[in-house]
Chains A and B, each alone.
Chain A
């Protein structure tokens, strides 16, 4: 669509330094890649013309790049993604990770999703700096690695925020306690999106600048052979400004000094052939009296190369009525995943989205998607 590659000067500089330093250090480099071809169609739903110029019934499949399926026939141009990664091991302690992704909805413009340096101080501590995905959710880091999770996409009622990365620093402490492997991550940084795809194209049709400043967060992951759990907390400053298409005065959408706090938890189980995935998350923005809790639960069963999965997810927002009507919706989803060969899977998913917002947000819809995903 209208996205510029997300290459800030800092990221370009980082990439340049890494590239220049490569021949000198004769670093050991691992290359890897992934690709997902996803085609979908909104089969039915309520007719609805609120959402800018989109043909509804429609279904928002991705909030990060504003991936929206319309009722216009099958398309592979909403969620398909390719990516390539280089892990550059400069020495035993220092490494650099660069990942370039292309999303169909963007016309496959290259975006640098990961660009960071990692320093392993000792067996437990790792320090990192650069551009990373925001680890708000259990699947945040692997959101586009379709092969790594059972659904066509992590449930969007929960994975539904427009800021998904940050520039900053983080420290990771890894250890084991008995059967449990623990990983604690604390991070700080900020992220500014000068032209938020989600806000601009879908919500209000005008360029919208979003800034999450003074981000500070912490997450702890604990797992053994059967259970994987996660707790997360994050806070940041919040600024959002809409630039009306008619050139009139920019409109700030939050009061000065607005802040947000985010809490989340995940609980996953893999026991014999059974699998359970669940995640809860809530955003609190006091300045506009917004509380936005969301959760999903998935229950599944593996039968040889097939995985069958049912998912329920919901988003239910409480909001000061001075702003807009709160968004509230839920989704029932059924997924079949077929691991038909090594490092390749084919998935089919049906999502029944029900919109019960005070003012309909996108309306009800039923989406069918087929997805072929691979890592290499």
Chain B
């Protein structure tokens, strides 16, 4: 039964993700204006600060998440393969580590809500009003 419910919820998530745009979220105390390029630079480890100079820590969902795939396409403009090769060249030199991965959108939202440094992404319908949507 649990497996059935899990499967149903996964199907719901998967279908919702198709119709529901992915949005970038930051802490409400973070009032910085972010361009798509700023977002890409943070998530690709090219910068570790927001344009106002405050520290920026990117959060991502786990590999295989359709929301993450949407985010990669829309904001990073890269396929999974391109991103795999990009990170491979950086991880094994200890230069930059990829964004910390969290298990669910709820966890992502909770972390962003609690810490000004975090930046993440969720589906628009699940963003709620306790985080600030920047794109």
Contacts and interface: CB of A to CB of B under 8 A. Distances in A.
Interface of A: 30, 32, 34, 83, 85, 87, 89, 95, 97, 99, 114, 116, 118, 120, 123-124, 133, 141-142, 144-145, 147-149, 174-176, 179, 181, 223, 225, 305, 339, 342-343, 375
B94 A85 contact: yes
- The interface residues of chain B, by DSSP majority, are classed as mixed
A99 B80 CA distance: 25
Contacts of B40: 225
Given A114-B94, A181-B47, 19 more contacts: A30-B97, A34-B92, A83-B92, A97-B94, A99-B94, A116-B94, A118-B94, A120-B48, A123-B53, A123-B55, A124-B49, A141-B95, A145-B88, A147-B88, A148-B89, A176-B46, A225-B77, A339-B81, A375-B84
Q: Nearest 4 CB-CB pairs, A to B?
A: A97-B94, A148-B89, A181-B46, A141-B93
A223 B89 CA distance: 14
B19 interface: no
B3 interface: no
B91 interface: yes
15 contacts: A32-B91, A32-B92, A34-B92, A95-B94, A123-B47, A123-B53, A123-B55, A142-B93, A147-B85, A181-B47, A223-B46, A342-B63, A342-B81, A375-B84, A375-B88
Interface of B: 37, 40-41, 46-49, 53, 55, 63, 77, 80-81, 84-86, 88-89, 91-95, 97
Contacts of B89: 141-142, 145, 148-149
A118 B94 CA distance: 9
A34 B93 CA distance: 12
Nearest to A96: B94
A174 B46 contact: yes
Contacts of A174: 46-48
Contacts of B37: 179
B47 A176 contact: yes
Contacts of A85: 91-92, 94
Nearest to A88: B94
Contacts of B41: 176, 181
Contacts of A147: 84-85, 88
A87 B94 contact: yes
A95 B49 CA distance: 18
